[in-house]
Amino acid sequence: IAVGFGFSAKEPVHYDAEQEGLDKKVIIRFSHVVAENTPKGLAVSRFAQLVREKTDGMVEIRVYPNATLFDDEKEFQALQTGKVEMIAPATSKLSSRYPAWMIMDLPYAFKNESEVKEAMDGRLGQLLFKAINDENIKGLALWDNGFKQMTANRPLIDPEDFKQMKFRIMASPILQAQFRALGAKAESYSFNDLYRQLQFKNVEGEENTLSNIYSKRLYQVQRHMTVSNHGYLGYIVLINKTTWDKLSPKQRAAIESAMAETTAWIRQYAKKMNDRALAEMKAKNLIHIHMQTNKEKEAWKKRLAPVYYQFKDTIGTQVLEEWKKLGA
Ligand code: LMR
């Protein structure tokens, strides 16, 4: 018997949410390698909360911090194969794949956070996002952490102090060349493995931001830190393109707006977190801290200058030209 809804009671009711203009609930797994109390850790949580609010819970960002799901070596492949939907690796870790991004790793390439902001909001940022040319990957934003410092078991004041030492680096040809220019050796290990590598003295030093050094307690396995701000560390936020394409226009707009808010927030907040980590390490006397002087900085810069020549063709003229215009 027909029941007045235009279909027989016996027919299964096929409810097509998309046809009805309603969104289906989507779960997006966001994997990252750092602690939750770091700029990236907090940005991911904040982003997740904003997306929840903006979509009334119809898009859920599930966060997996501390490399609980995938570590550095695995996360990009996991993103490509759809084992995870979002990641935010350090630019350094993608620089072999997208050489234009090597610009971000060049020693002393950016004076401060506002120069990075100027770069990313302008033509340079556009060029860099265009260079993310994998079909199934979409770049959404660059999130700041901040500037890197050097740590080791002996003071690192002059370029000569690096001689013969072995440093842990992120997998990046520029970082490899940076330590070579300083007369040191470098090997890449995942961030998750860093503490152990230092503890067992497989490597003698490393470079990282203050918030990473503090949150991973690297001061327990490193006696000295030079606040050199010699290199930038930020994150490219990536989403699997198939996932992105499946979202409704409304969901995409919500994600974009949450991303813009989070990016603006982390730009302010990352610096505060790094400053606070330095203050804590000083106050608690957790590590010997040397603040690099201008004179020492000039000596490091001079020693590191060949890295620029070595990579100029790989990075490309267009990117380098845009970078040269900064801070003008
Ligand atoms: C590192 O590997 O040292 C950093 O990239 C970790 C991170 O993601 O901040």
pLDDT tens, residue by residue, 49-83: 999 999 999 999 999 999 889 988 899 999 999 99
Query: Residue 137 forms beta bridges with which residues?
Result: 240
d(C-alpha 264, C-alpha 271), whole Å: 12
Please give the pLDDT value at position 260: 97
Give the Å distance between the CA of 265 and the centre of ligand 1: 20
Residue 16 — pLDDT band, cuts 50, 70, 90?
very low
42 CB near ligand 1 (under 6 Å)? no
Handedness of CA 273, 278, 282, 285 (dihedral sign): positive
d(C-alpha 18, C-alpha 16), whole Å: 6
The closest-lying atom of ligand 1 relative to the alpha carbon of residue 207 is: 3
Residue with the smallest CA separation from ligand 1 atom 6 is 191
Please give the pLDDT value at position 263: 97
Q: What mean pLDDT comes out for the span 204-230?
A: 98
Please give the pLDDT value at position 22: 63
Does the pLDDT of residue 14 top 90, yes or no?
no
Please give the pLDDT value at position 328: 62
* Vertex 278 angle, CA 275 and 283, to 5°: 125
Give the Å distance between the CA of 321 and the centre of ligand 1: 28
User: What pTM does this model have?
Assistant: 0.90
Quick one: which of 94, 223, 226, 217 has its CA closest to 147? 226
The closest-lying atom of ligand 1 relative to the alpha carbon of residue 191 is: 2
Least confident of 13-27, 73-87, 233-247, 270-284: 13-27
d(C-alpha 198, C-alpha 211), whole Å: 17
The closest-lying atom of ligand 1 relative to the alpha carbon of residue 33 is: 8
Percentage of the chain with pLDDT > 70?
93
191 CB near ligand 1 (under 6 Å)? yes
Q: Please, what is the average pLDDT of the chain?
A: 92
Residues 147-182 have pLDDT tens digits of: 999 999 999 999 999 999 999 999 999 999 999 999
Please give the pLDDT value at position 21: 54
Beta strands in the chain (DSSP E): 26-31, 59-64, 86-87, 137-152, 166-169, 185-188, 205-209, 224-240, 288-291
Residue 127: CB atoms within 10 A of its CB come to: 19
The closest-lying atom of ligand 1 relative to the alpha carbon of residue 40 is: 9
Rounded to the nearest angstrom, the gap between the alpha carbon of residue 79 and the centroid of all alpha carbons in its chain is 15
Does the pLDDT of residue 243 top 50, yes or no?
yes
> Which of the pair, 293 or 3, is modelled with greater confidence?
293
CA-to-CA dists, residue 249 to 22, 59, 105, 245, 258, angstroms: 11, 13, 35, 9, 14
The closest-lying atom of ligand 1 relative to the alpha carbon of residue 208 is: 3
d(C-alpha 99, C-alpha 313), whole Å: 10
208 CB near ligand 1 (under 6 Å)? yes
Does the pLDDT of residue 20 top 90, yes or no?
no
Test site for ligand 1: of 30, 31, 32, 33, most ligand atoms within 8 A of the Cβ = 33
34 CB near ligand 1 (under 6 Å)? yes
Task: For the chain, report the end-to-end CA distance as a whole number of angstroms.
Answer: 79
Test site for ligand 1: of 233, 235, 238, 273, most ligand atoms within 8 A of the Cβ = 233
Give the Å distance between the CA of 90 and the centre of ligand 1: 6
The full length of the chain comes to 328
33 CB near ligand 1 (under 6 Å)? yes
Residue 303: CB atoms within 10 A of its CB come to: 18
104 CB near ligand 1 (under 6 Å)? no
> Which of the pair, 190 or 73, is modelled with greater confidence?
190
Q: What mean pLDDT comes out for the span 190-219?
A: 97
Does the pLDDT of residue 121 top 90, yes or no?
yes
Residue 244: CB atoms within 10 A of its CB come to: 18
Give the Å distance between the CA of 34 and the centre of ligand 1: 7
Residue 245 — pLDDT band, cuts 50, 70, 90?
very high
